[in-house]
Amino acid sequence: MDDSPFATLPDELLEAIVFHLPPAATIAFSATCKRSNKITYEPLVWRRHCVQEWRYWESRHELKEKLRLPPVQTKWRHLFNERRRIDKEALELFDALLLVQQARVDRMEKVAAVGYDAKDLMLRQRDETRDEAEDLLARRYHANAILGQIHRTTALDKWGRLQRRQMVRLEEVLGAYDLFVLSGGRGDLSDIDRELDRLAECIRARDPDFDGLSIRKKAVQIAKYLRSENLVGNHSEEDYHALRNNFISIALFEAPHTSLPLQSVAIYCAVARRLGVNAKPSNYPHHVHAVIEAPPDTSLDGHVRGPTHPPRDIQPEDATDVMHMDPWRSNTEVPRDHLTTRLSQMGAPVAQHAHHLGATTNLEVALRTGRNIMNSVQESRDRQRGGTTTRRSDSPDVESAWYAMLWSMLVLGDATQPSTLHRRRQVLPYLIEHYQAHFPEDLGLIETLVAPMFENEREHHVLMHLITTARAGDANARAPSYRPKREELRKWMIPGEPGVSFKIGSHFRHKRYGYQGVIVGWDTKCGAEARWMEQMRVDELPRGREQPFYNVVADDKSIRYVAEENITAVREKPGEGLMGLAGRYFKRWDEGEGRFVSNMRDEYPDD
């Protein structure tokens, strides 16, 4: 740089120029001479690169704490290089898992194990891969699957901490459910946290005297603001049980901001806590209220407790020590006598009134949310079977929500109680079925979280066999299935009928039931067990069990086994639902061929 016009510029101006360079240009500039190398080592430069290059960070980096410190106290360039190395290694694993099925789950687990340090990379693979990319669908699908693994691991960590009676905030307990259905946009725990912080600051900004108000007045002001912004409540009785109303991030970020009373109260309590108000969800049956407690040294109205009014006990009974709010319905305080009258009408014994009016635990809130999700999913499925859907039935994903509910029922609860083990035994078959059908990448979670729960129980042997078999299946190369040659076809095919007519990746419509799907495997004849063939009345089909059968993925996400005579090929591009699922098996859609390009050539080399 000595002969360059830049050599005449003062260091301050060069630093200002460097501050606007991208990382690659910064590194190139640093290599020009000793002076430029010294300037580019400025901590502020690399702090900016770290913050702009990556939005998500593993907690071990303590990024928030580092950002509060003077820049010179952190080795920002070292941190930048570490993240670049992590991205490089994760991308190599990711590219490798797209090539063959062998060790695919193992590689996905290794990328997911990087945690939030891999999230930005996976988001770029999912959202920024070019439409003309050779492996577009596979890249998007598997990036999204790994993001799901990262999110679910985080959620289960939160629930595990809660189950062990460690500190977990209310919004984290509920936000863990959202991590199972998070499919893009905002909704991560950090997004929820920032939004709740923002709402608290907005309430303070609206009333400069807010911090001087009594707890009672603060409680009312918070409800007024949240209701004025339509962030709590639900004006549509028809959509009361809609699945979306169970998720706190959807209530915060997606209009209309509807929710169940529990989620509305959770939002209220989380914002209130940020504003110095001790608010918690109630134990009230059928409808959740917010229970607001006065500080130990003052009443709800701000009266200081003197010698004649000693500090209250931990469980307040006096009306000046506790109040109730129902932000889902109104912004005014709910009189205690109204609540007790309603309890009496419901048949609750007077001795239990104090319990119902008091605050509940985060564990009970989590379990109550799981039960609500179960009811919403079942209602959604009933509507679909009846041929009706709600106008927002596509958000969130039903299978992911059901999976979240199953995990919560399995993880949460007192492990020493017989009722907990009984519930886990009931839930386990459904969880394993869902894992195998929709989330095979979660093998590690089954191995590390589920199996230990049944140590010394009869289910443990079955789980270990499942895990061992799945690990071996992932580690071994797929046995290739070649299409039969003509001389081999003569031995088994029906005269006048073709062999295996359809290829992997063929889009089809079921002749009898009308659903659409895509072929992901085939057998030259029915390979199912005799009992299944008897139940499905396979031998009553015109071509019987000796015709080819196909493994297919239907547009409702189910995996089915279909006789060839029930398949009608469809050359048109599938709908959005099937396109999203197809990346698990295929690279892209080939418009010219009218079918998907296989990503399972190791298993079906002729297709």
Q: What is the pLDDT of residue 33?
A: 72
Q: What is the pLDDT of residue 15?
A: 64
Mean pLDDT over all residues of the chain? 89
Give the domains, in start order, of the chain with CATH numbers.
5-80 (1.20.1280), 175-303+317-363 (no CATH), 486-598 (2.30.30.390)
Output the CA–CA distances (angstroms, integers) from residue 222 to 283, 399, 590, in the order listed. 21, 35, 55
Interval 332-380: pLDDT, tens: 999 999 999 999 999 999 999 999 999 999 999 999 999 999 999 999 8
In this prediction, residue 317 has a pLDDT band, given cuts at 50, 70 and 90, of very low
In this prediction, residue 30 has a pLDDT band, given cuts at 50, 70 and 90, of low
Asked if the model's pLDDT at residue 109 lies above 70, the reply is: yes
Asked if the model's pLDDT at residue 179 lies above 70, the reply is: yes
Interval 94-108: pLDDT, tens: 999 999 999 999 999
Interval 423-474: pLDDT, tens: 999 999 999 999 999 999 999 999 999 999 999 999 999 999 999 999 999 9
DSSP conformation letters of 112-152: HHTGGGGHHHHHHHHHHS-TT-TTHHHHHHHHHHHHHHHHH
Longest dimension (CA), the chain: 102
In this prediction, residue 414 has a pLDDT band, given cuts at 50, 70 and 90, of confident
Output the CA–CA distances (angstroms, integers) from residue 377 to 132, 320, 394, 406, 411, in the order listed. 37, 41, 12, 12, 20
